[in-house]
Amino acid sequence: MQIVDTIAGTRQAIRDTRAAHPDGTLGLVPTMGALHAGHLSLIDRARRENPIVAASIFVNPLQFGPNEDLAKYPRTFADDCAQLERAGVDLLFAPTRAEMYPRGAAVTTTTPSTTVDPGPIANRLDGVSRPGHFIGVATVVAKLFHILQPDRAYFGQKDAAQLAILRQMVRDLDIPVDLIACPIVRDHDGLALSSRNRYLTPDERAQALILPRTLDLIAQRIAAGERRSEPLIAAGRALLEQHPEVVLDYLTLVDPDTLLPVPEASPGTLVAIAAKVGTTRLIDNFLLE
């Protein structure tokens, strides 16, 4: 695996690799490192579908708010590299912050540089409690797409709002890349894998299971015939209220493309939850079949 930390070096490496695979597609898996089996499932899928697989590791400051966990976000670079190498990644782009934002990065709307603005959708779901987050996500992913020019890019369904925003971006700006959404990977007990699970104490880890359990309850109620969002959410909230140590951010049924609430569940509806367990914000979701 070739590891490159400059934009120019990455462009050159891509040119060389493409020259060696003239008709081969390139699959990209963008990450913030601290890799887990969820990321590896994206790599595996990319590996199956593309002769050339690239990954990126970059903890993007532009998508963190001023009071968020940018400084303490887990960084496990050596271990990440070993995992990517074993998974068969050809090229890893791992830039410094100065390489990606030579003129500085700010998360405000008065940021002194060009950003990609998803519009009102950026203020839905996680965007409510994380203002500016999705501008930062859209901007860095646009940059990565321009630098690596993948044919396909792989993202986890766990970040459902991120996926909706990136799908909208690719569509609205005509970016020539196919976005591939991959299923959530869960631990043996049902907790969705997340780099942020590393923050959890053993007690918090146990408490965090209320997120998938709340989603399971709603799935069961839907299977039993309830379609109306209001009683479904009320049932979920009632379960959560028995766990006051978990502070709900949102529990909602939305259209998976617009992220706008729907009055009734129907095939494709996104059921999504976000909550704080201790100081750790976790998210989870499922798509109705």
Binding-site ranges for its own copies (CB under 8 A): 7, 11, 103, 110-120, 138-139, 142-143, 146-147, 149, 168-169, 171-176
DSSP state of 259: -
- The span from the CA of 254 to the CA of 203, in Å, is 31
CB of 18 to its own copies, least distance (A): 12
Active site residues: 39
Of 21 and 171, CB closest to its own copies? 171
- The span from the CA of 252 to the CA of 125, in Å, is 8
Tokens of 222: 């839907």
* Largest Cα span, the chain: 59
Of 62 and 253, CB closest to its own copies? 62
CB of 240 to its own copies, least distance (A): 32
Question: 35 with 80: CB under 8 angstroms?
Answer: yes
CB of 60 to its own copies, least distance (A): 13
CB of 151 to its own copies, least distance (A): 13
* Closest to 196 measured CA to CA, from 274, 248, 92: 274
Of 155 and 199, CB closest to its own copies? 155
* Closest to 169 measured CA to CA, from 117, 115, 126: 117
Which residues contact residue 250 at a Cβ distance below 8 angstroms, ignoring those fewer than 6 apart?
A: 125, 128, 129, 272, 273, 274
Of 21 and 146, CB closest to its own copies? 146
- The span from the CA of 127 to the CA of 168, in Å, is 15
- The span from the CA of 89 to the CA of 33, in Å, is 14
CB of 184 to its own copies, least distance (A): 25
Of 168 and 197, CB closest to its own copies? 168
